[in-house]
């Protein structure tokens, strides 16, 4: 009897401690993300295709790292996962003055996961010394620089921050939703600007994978508690989480969020079927068998959603304009060559064979579903599969066929190494199809199928000839300025448009690249949405004509989820929803 009473008191005390950790004004998560109010407890196990490279969001450009980090760091303002609209985040409110150039944020009264108060100092430090730090590998300086002038950040008091914009900036809150705020008390010592003798670029050494996990703190719903190299990452609820469900229950629901690192897609599938992984993103090829299993009574649901979300991004093909080989460098910079190679991409075959029909023809690069920015005129410019036309165009630039082999003007056989991620099934399969098509034309093709982590490293180092990648879609093109505007860090196929200090080198841009550079500069400060769309329409048309990258297909949103998992479902508009902090285990 005494034990029972003590147990009840203990539960009550724990409940009081959790409630006490909530801020005065928690964020009530949109009811559209809930099929039902969840229950506390349990372990959600997800798969991760490769190990993260870091816990430092700005120290790397790496998808697996971002997947983990988004669980424990937050931005000032957020995109509602159910609607895409901008909503309060770490800033509970904000105002814009009549000039459109002064934005004042009132910060939420929350704590970091180690109990340290979150203040304006964290915001100003993050934006000035990390987000806008050109030496941070994953910096977003481009998003906060307008007409060559940076956004300035001022602390008004502990809970008030002011952003001074050089000019009105229509996309400001949208780009700010992708700037995760860091704890100054954990990062300050890595800042060269604040510590004499510290080398530029030291910021990238913060929160590496060997950092004690007690020092990896955040404001998100989870906190990292365990990392076993190349095996798993474990996160547990942040006691100071500031998100609640519609009934006021602190989120997340689950006691543990586990990422199993499984590089082999077939092994990942086997673990899902065995119930060891609770949710996966199947390929189009895997979808039918999984759906049949579901109909036969297996304990999981398989959902196919409309391709309305920016992720996963459509795979694209790019050639390295700065490749070491001078003949290939000249060839890859030739517009006619790239246009000829677009004729070798059989998108409908890829949609059929790789995605099992569960895909659409993509935009360039704006998704067709993005009606706010999509330019339908690009559909008249994109080149359909036509190998005969490809042959004619290659012949026209001196890449002629001799005894079944295409040769360069020097007489040397044309050989291309195509790099793709072996652990990303669609990219792997697309590479195999392209190799077949190119060799039919007489182009000797070597496949370099490696992990997605290594693909990312080679991409950023410029150590490739041709590559298949998949990133770059967002609701607003300004969010991907760093990819699509020449002279930026992720404009990886022509990195010589940027110098070692990450400054644009106008003299290294060709004529149409100069126009694209100008279009992004104009669009980021244009406040009229109609005029802004017209600028981005022109950019899309230029990309469709000049094909610096060749977009291949946009897969449908697919997910397979164990029946034990609640609050993963398809909305009426075809969108699949289910966030880690709203999921519960039945």
pLDDT in tens, the chain (586 residues): 333 333 333 333 334 344 447 988 999 999 999 999 999 999 999 999 999 999 999 999 888 999 999 999 999 999 998 887 889 999 999 999 999 999 999 999 999 999 999 999 999 999 999 999 999 999 999 889 988 899 999 999 999 999 999 998 888 998 899 999 999 999 999 999 999 999 999 999 999 999 999 999 999 999 999 999 999 999 999 999 999 999 999 999 999 999 999 999 899 999 999 999 999 999 888 999 999 999 999 999 999 987 777 666 789 999 999 999 999 999 999 999 999 999 999 999 999 999 989 899 998 989 888 888 899 999 999 999 999 999 999 999 999 999 999 999 999 999 999 999 998 889 999 999 999 999 999 999 999 999 998 999 999 999 999 999 988 677 788 888 889 999 988 899 999 999 988 789 999 999 999 999 999 999 888 878 889 899 999 999 999 999 999 999 998 889 999 999 999 999 887 889 999 999 999 9
| DSSP secondary structure string for all residues of 161-199 | EEEE-SS--TTHHHHHTT-B---HHHHGGG-TTTSTTPP
Superfamily per CATH, domain 316-555: Dipeptide-binding Protein; Domain 3 (3.10.105.10)
pLDDT at position 16 is 37
pLDDT at position 284 is 85
Is 73-205 CATH 3.30.1240.10?
no
**Residue 68 in tokens:** 């983990």
pLDDT at position 8 is 35
Q: How many CB atoms lie within 10 A of CB 450?
A: 15
Fold of 209-309+556-585: D-Maltodextrin-Binding Protein; domain 2 (3.40.190)
Cα four-point dihedral sign 363, 366, 371, 374: negative
E-state strands within 309-428: 316-319, 359-360, 400-402, 405-407, 415-421
Q: How far is the C-alpha of 178 from the C-alpha of 335, rounded, in Å?
A: 34
Residue spans of the domains in the chain: they are 73-205, 209-309+556-585, 316-555
CA 198 and chain centroid, separation: 30
Nearest CA to 344 out of 407, 378, 390 is that of 390
Going from the C-alpha of 336 to that of each of 152, 438, 516, the distances in angstroms are 44, 16, 19
pLDDT at position 14 is 38
| DSSP secondary structure string for all residues of 272-300 | HHTTSSSEE---TTTHHHHHHHHHTT-SE
């Amino acid at each position: 009897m005494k034990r029972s009473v003590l147990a009840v008191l203990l539960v009550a005390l724990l409940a009081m401690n959790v409630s006490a950790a909530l801020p005065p004004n928690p964020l009530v998560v949109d009811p559209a993300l809930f099929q039902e109010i969840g229950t506390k407890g349990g372990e959600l196990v997800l798969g991760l295709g490769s190990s993260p490279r870091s816990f430092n969001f700005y120290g790397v450009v790496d998808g697996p790292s971002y997947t983990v980090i988004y669980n424990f760091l937050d931005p000032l303002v957020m995109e509602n996962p159910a609607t895409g609209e901008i909503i309060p985040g770490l800033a509970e409110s904000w105002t814009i003055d009549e000039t459109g150039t002064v934005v004042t944020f009132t910060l939420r009264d929350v704590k970091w996961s180690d109990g340290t108060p979150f203040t304006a100092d964290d915001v100003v430090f993050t934006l000035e010394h990390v987000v806008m730090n050109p030496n941070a590998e994953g910096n977003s300086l481009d998003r906060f620089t307008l007409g060559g002038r940076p956004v300035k950040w001022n602390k008004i008091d502990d809970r008030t921050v002011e952003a001074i914009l050089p000019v009105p900036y229509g996309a400001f809150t949208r780009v700010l939703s992708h700037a995760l705020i860091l704890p100054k008390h954990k990062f300050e010592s890595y800042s060269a600007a604040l510590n004499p003798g510290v080398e530029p670029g030291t910021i990238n050494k913060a929160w590496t994978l060997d950092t004690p996990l007690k020092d990896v703190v955040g404001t998100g719903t989870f906190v990292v508690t365990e990392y076993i190299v190349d095996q798993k990452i474990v996160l547990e609820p942040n006691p100071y989480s500031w998100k609640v469900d519609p009934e006021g229950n602190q989120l997340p629901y689950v006691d543990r969020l586990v990422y199993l690192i499984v590089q082999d897609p077939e092994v990942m599938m086997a673990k899902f079927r065995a119930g060891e992984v609770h949710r996966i993103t199947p390929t189009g090829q895997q979808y039918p068998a999984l759906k049949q299993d579901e109909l036969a009574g297996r304990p999981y649901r398989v959902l196919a959603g409309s391709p309305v979300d920016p992720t996963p991004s459509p795979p694209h093909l790019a050639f390295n304009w700065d490749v070491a080989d001078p003949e290939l460098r000249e060839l890859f910079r030739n517009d006619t060559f790239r246009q000829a190679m677009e004729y070798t991409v059989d998108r409908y075959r890829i949609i059929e064979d790789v995605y099992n029909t569960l895909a659409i023809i993509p935009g360039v690069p704006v998704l067709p579903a993005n009606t706010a920015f999509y330019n339908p005129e690009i559909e008249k410019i994109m080149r359909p599969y036509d190998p005969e036309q490809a042959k004619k165009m290659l012949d026209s630039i001196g890449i002629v066929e001799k005894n079944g082999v295409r040769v360069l003007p020097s007489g040397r056989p044309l050989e291309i190494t195509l790099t793709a991620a072996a652990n990303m099934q669609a990219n792997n399969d697309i590479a195999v199809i392209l190799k077949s098509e190119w060799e039919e034309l007489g182009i000797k093709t070597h496949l370099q199928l490696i992990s997605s982590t290594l693909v990312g490293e080679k991409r950023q180092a410029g150590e490739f000839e041709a590559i298949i990648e998949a990133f770059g879609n967002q609701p607003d093109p300004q969010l991907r300025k760093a990819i699509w505007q020449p002279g930026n860090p992720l404009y990886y196929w022509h990195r010589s448009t940027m110098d070692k200090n990450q400054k644009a080198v106008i003299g290294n841009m060709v004529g149409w690249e100069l126009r694209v550079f100008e279009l992004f500069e104009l669009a980021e400060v244009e406040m009229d949405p109609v005029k802004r769309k017209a600028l981005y329409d022109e950019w899309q048309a230029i990309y469709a004509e000049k094909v610096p990258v060749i977009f291949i297909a946009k897969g449908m949103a697919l997910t397979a989820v164990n029946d034990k998992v609640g609050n993963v479902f398809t909305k009426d508009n075809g969108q699949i929803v289910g966030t880690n902090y709203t999921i519960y285990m039945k």
